A and B are shown apart, each in its own frame.
Chain A
């Protein structure tokens, strides 16, 4: 408690900032990727978000820095959101390690992944962001709501819509 208070008073130092980076970099980078579908852009913009936090570290309360990070990310990503349909690629963590043999169930799994990734591209940006934050980044509805400045109800609603649409898309394919 005493330490937190201390951080609050003096803002980030390099050490606490590194911790902040470690805790939130991936989710911010992912968040931008869900919007832009471009790996390099999401990495560059995520880096820029953190630089902005550092530059304003004297004015930012480290406890709310995370929300500021999302606000900056949203603003930076706006210019990079494609109007046309975009393609999303995700790596299956299980398959990443064993690319030797490919048994039948692995092939099936890959095929399903591809179908699902196509379907995800068909979601609206809002639905997609919520769905993937929950699935990939393992954030609860409450956490997502906090980060996006939404109500938990709104997050729930988007999640339901996303799931419904994905089910429909996958069902058509099968």
Chain B
């Protein structure tokens, strides 16, 4: 090994790398970073746990909410008449193509129904019982009544007791034997007497009409037999009479012959001329 080489090697051995921060300072900075990264990790772990816990609780609440507030819907199809007993013991007989909705869990405290179609109600005495008909409310205490609520037409016939019928503008109290109807959202007191047995004869499959718009009779035919009726110029025509749900041709004949119409029945279509 030459002198030179010896000198180079020993000179370099006596060196150190300059520093701007001491080892201790750097350790302190590093320790801080470690704590921060651990904290953030712990934080995210904790918050993840919380998130999971919170979502479980939320789901549980949601489930309870759903079970508790889920509304029960009863729907009848073509030609179907069904009797429903409500949680408070009241009975509703639904005519075909009708729909009834209520929240079973709270029904006894809060007797409210959403309804469209036609039904006969026998209400157990108790707290206010309200039927909502898309803009019209029927409130009763304990009574029997019939509701017809299809499309624009809402008709309430009170059989026993008293019924209060309200829309946004007015309110009418119906006594037994009286009926009221609304058309196009306007309450119109008809206050006509009616035969109770006629009004609820649909429950036995008999459909009685007294001076009823022909269009309404056609609608009833359609939903009782599941047919479509093609007819023009029914406006302004009224029908008194009845049909039953046992024979389509007989029913059609009973309605249209007396009114001077001829008809063709093909499958599920009826053409009125």
Please report A residues at the B interface, Cβ cutoff 8 Å. 14, 17-18, 21-22, 25-26, 29-30, 33, 39-40, 42-43, 46-47, 50-51, 54-55, 89-94, 109, 112-113, 116, 120, 131-132, 135-136, 138, 163, 166-167, 170-171
Contacts and interface: CB of A to CB of B under 8 A. Distances in A.
12 contacts: A14-B34, A18-B27, A21-B30, A29-B17, A50-B30, A54-B30, A93-B14, A116-B8, A116-B11, A132-B12, A136-B16, A163-B9
From B9, B11, B33, name the one whose CB has the most chain A CB atoms within 10 angstroms: B11
For the residues of B in contact with A, the DSSP-based class is helix
B116 to A, nearest CB: 65
3 smallest A-B Cβ distances: which pairs?
Answer: A90-B15, A135-B12, A30-B17
Given A51-B30, A136-B16, A43 B11 contact: no
Interface string B24-43: 00110111011001000000
Contacts of B27: 18, 21-22, 25
Nearest to B23: A25
Given A93-B16, A94-B14, A163 B34 contact: no
B33 A51 contact: yes
A30 B8 CA distance: 19
Contact of B17 (A17, A42, A55): A42
Contact of A135 (B15, B20, B30, B37): B15
Contacts of B14: 92-94
A132 B30 CA distance: 26
A10 to B, nearest CB: 16
B8 A33 contact: no
Of listed B7, B12, B13, B29, residue having the most chain A CB within 10 A: B12
Nearest to B22: A43
B18 interface: yes
B4 interface: yes
B5 interface: yes
Given A21-B30, A93-B14, A135-B12, A26 B23 contact: yes
Contacts of A47: 26, 29-30, 33
A167 B8 contact: yes
Given A25-B26, A46-B26, A51-B34, 13 more contacts: A18-B27, A22-B23, A25-B23, A47-B29, A55-B37, A91-B18, A109-B11, A116-B8, A116-B12, A136-B15, A163-B5, A163-B8, A167-B8
A50 B32 CA distance: 12
